[in-house]
Structure 1
Amino acid sequence: MVCALGAAVCFGTASVLQAVAARAASQSAAGVSGVDTALFLRAVRQWRYMAGLGLDGVGFVLQIIALRHIPIYAVGAALAASLAVTAVVASRLLGTRLSRLEWGAVAVVCAGLLMLGLASGEEGHGTGSLLLKLGLLGVAALVLVVGAVAGRLPDGTRALVLGLAAGTGFGVVEVAVRLIDTVSLRELLNPALYALLLGGAAGFLLLTSALQRGSVTAATAGLVLGETVGPALVGVVCLGDRPREGLAWLAVTGFAVAVAGALALSRFGEPKES
């Protein structure tokens, strides 16, 4: 759980840096596309985006460690809490003001994570079927298709769809980590490995595009839902993730509270420069 929270700190801080870079890069954009690789290439030329990517790399390593030891639903809720980190960092570095309600939402996220930490058991021992691994790869490919189609939608709808698709891509990564046993040549035949790579790449591309235009709140809310609810269900149904004996109610409550608090802070998915 400490690693999951460390990943949330890294991702939350990175989002502040990357969002500023994405907005700056979009000023020279000529047109809008759901899968906008040109926007990504413009963004990575800025030091803020590169610093954010470095933090993302550290956060990803911590996320992998967490996923190998605790249930997916606990890791997913902790990652959603990165919005609370983003809100606090934005208030310090960018001068963004948090209302009392938003400070309350930060406290709600922390309370939800505390409940999850008390209720979470060990990770499930399910290895996942070949069908699940192929299904993950198919979902990762579908995320890219949805992203391409979303580029033609109106700004408001576009932001929500891109955010949800990006979150789904990151959710694929969460599940795929559990389906990869070891680092070996044999894993080159594992569809989950390619689902992880494709899902992660699609998530980054679509999230960068989602931050370019449209409703930041809608995009980030979609992101939170996409990377928490689906993976949590897969972990429980297919991989055997379970809470501590007799504490299922606390785990469900903690998950719902943490995600609800994160959604209340969704406008901080891309804070503006002051």
Structure 2
Amino acid sequence: MVVGLLSAFAAAALYGCGTIVQAIGVRRAGAAEVEGLWARVWAGRLYAYGLVLDGLGFVASLVALRTLPLFVVESAVASSVAITAGLAVLLLGARLSRREILAQVGVGLGLVALAVSAHPGRAAPLTGTGPWVLLGSVLPVGVLGAVALRRPGPTGAAVLAATAGLGFGGVGIAARVVEVPTTLWRLVLDPVPWALVAFSLIAMSAYGLALQRGSVTTVAAVTFTAETVVPAAIGLLWLGDRVRPGAGPIALLGFVLTLGGSIVLARHAAEDAPEQATEPGD
């Protein structure tokens, strides 16, 4: 369980750093259109660095999901926005209000509550048509993203963020239930790994597009809410995720504190984060 918890917290830190770096890269890419070739190359490198951090965070979350319930790992990933807010203070000169400082504390306490209340263990395996249902659920998520592309402005960004959240949630579910066989051909014929890949592609594409259209913190709030609530419910209802005996109220409190604090912090700097992100050196 210790390895799982450390991996979950590492995923949060890596995702939080990746969000800041990607946001800077996306916005510098727009400015680079008039600044020349080297400006465009540098903007692309920044975004690529953010993707690398996201990739490392993804690997860390996969490790955590092998032994921890979805409601713990997804909540930890959602808390990465607290890392983002902290980095905005350190690197971009942002300031946290008293409410946002309390939200930071709430996220920390919530993660501790989730850590002590979670019952470690593997997920219940999907049987029968379960793996195919998981793969089939990729389609409606993809359709939602396609619809969002036709909606301009903040509304389209919010729907794209929701698509990304559902996609990342699907990745978490698939990673939680996937069974690694002894032979490669069995893995190729298993629909669960294909669902994991498809959800990953949808989620990363939708998240990048959402960042281009809306505030990074608002996009993060919608994404992390969808990414956390839906998989947590599915894990508890169908995948055998459990809390320790008598620790249900602690787990619920931890979930609410973590998600609520993350949403408060994701809303932080909705007005000033994009402008600051374009000039991180100031």
Structure-1-length-normalised TM-score: 0.89
Return the letter of the residue paired with 1:170: F
Match in the other structure for 1:39:
none
Aligned mates of 1:210, 1:195 — CA distance in 2: 22
Which piece of structure 1 moves more, 74-83 or 52-61? 52-61
Letter in 2 for 1:76: E
Other-structure match for 2:136? 138
Residue in structure 2 matched with residue 264 of structure 1 by the alignment: 264
- The structural deviation recorded for 1:227 is 0.7
Structure number with larger C-alpha Rg: 2
Aligned mates of 1:27, 1:138 — CA distance in 2: 40
Aligned-pair CA distance for 1:25: 2.8
Change (3 A) 1:47 1:154: closer
5 Å-filtered alignment, 1:150-165, equals 150-165=148-163
Once the two structures are superposed, what CA deviation does each residue of 1:41-73 show, in whole Å capped at 9, x if it has no partner? x89962211211221222112111100011110
User: What fraction of aligned residue pairs are identical, expressed as a percent?
Assistant: 37
| 2:90 corresponds to | 92
**1:137/1:191 contact within 8 Å kept:** yes
Q: What SS class does the counterpart of residue 78 from structure 1 fall into?
A: helix
Specify the SS of the correspondent of 2:241: coil
Q: Does 1:19 align with 2:23?
A: yes
How far apart are the structure 1 equivalents of 2:76 and 2:172?
12
**Residue type of the alignment partner of 1:163:** A
Distance 1:77 1:269 in 2: 21
Q: Relative to structure 1, is the Cα distance of residues 83 and 217 closer, same or farther in structure 2, using a 3 angstrom cutoff?
A: closer
* Amino acid across the alignment from 2:226: G
Instruction: Select between 111-120 and 156-165 the one with higher mean Cα deviation.
Output: 156-165
Segments of 5+ residues of structure 2 without an aligned counterpart are 34-39
**What amino acid sits opposite 1:234 in the alignment?**
I
What's 2:37 paired with?
none
- Tell me which residue corresponds to 1:32: none
Q: Distance in 2 between matches of 1:43 and 1:49?
A: 10
More deviation, 211-220/98-107? 211-220
How far 1:208 moved relative to its partner? 0.7
Question: How much does 1:24 deviate?
Answer: 2.5
The change in CA–CA distance for 1:147 and 1:268 in structure 2 (over 3 A counts) is farther
Mapped pair 1:239 → 2:243: no
Aligned length: 262
Runs of 5+ unmatched residues, structure 1: 30-41
The verdict on how the C-alpha distance between 1:24 and 1:185 changes in structure 2, with shifts beyond 3 A counting, is same
Q: Once superposed, what is the RMSD of the aligned Cα atoms?
A: 2.1
How much does 1:19 deviate? 0.9
Equivalent residue for 2:14, pick from 5, 10, 16: 10
